[in-house]
């Protein structure tokens, strides 16, 4: 059974940083593209970033490019999202996903003073 478990969310001040983690199991992590998708409170889904299986290609939505970095550790079957210069509009539930097929339960990030 595929399992994706996010962690690392919480309350952070504007301009601050946070690192989200996603622990994966139940599939061959090292051969899977992985995505991050977010959902602001009461809003729709927004794709944030993805990373190729070997980490050689990364893609981002414009609103986070230069502030967020997606990375992975295939030896640990883990996906990360490093978030810097956080803004109020980054407040959302962040989901980790295997190729937008399997999804984690999400982790809440709140950016507020």
Instruction: Tell me phi and psi for residue 43, to 5 degrees.
Output: -115, 180
Site membership for other proteins, residue 5 (CB under 8 A): no
Q: Which string of x and - marks every residue 51-90 that binds other proteins (by CB under 8 A)?
A: --------xxxx----------------------------
Task: Kindly tell me which residue out of 45, 54, 76, 88 binds other proteins, with binding defined by CB under 8 A.
Answer: 45
Report, in Å, the least distance between residue 112 CB and other proteins. Answer: 21
Contact between 32 and other proteins by CB under 8 A: the answer reads no
* Count of other CB atoms within 10 angstroms of residue 113: 9
Query: CA dist 110 to 11, 14, 18, 102, 105, Å?
Result: 5, 9, 10, 24, 16
DSSP 3-state of 54: coil
Any residues with CB less than 8 A from the CB of 30 and at least 6 apart, and which? 53, 54, 74, 77
Output the smallest distance, CB 59 to other proteins, in A: 5
Contact footprint for other proteins (CB under 8 A)? 35, 37, 44-47, 50, 59-62, 95, 100-106
């Amino acid at each position: 059974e595929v399992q994706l478990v996010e962690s690392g969310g919480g309350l952070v001040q504007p301009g601050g940083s946070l690192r989200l983690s996603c622990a994966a199991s139940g599939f061959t992590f090292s051969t899977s593209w992985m995505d991050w998708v977010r959902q602001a409170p009461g809003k729709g889904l927004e794709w944030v970033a993805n990373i190729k299986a070997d980490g050689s290609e990364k893609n981002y939505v414009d609103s986070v490019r230069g502030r967020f970095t997606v990375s992975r550790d295939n030896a640990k079957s883990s996906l990360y999202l490093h978030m810097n210069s956080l803004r109020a509009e980054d407040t959302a539930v962040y989901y980790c996903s295997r190729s937008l097929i399997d999804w984690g339960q999400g982790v809440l990030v709140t950016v507020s003073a």
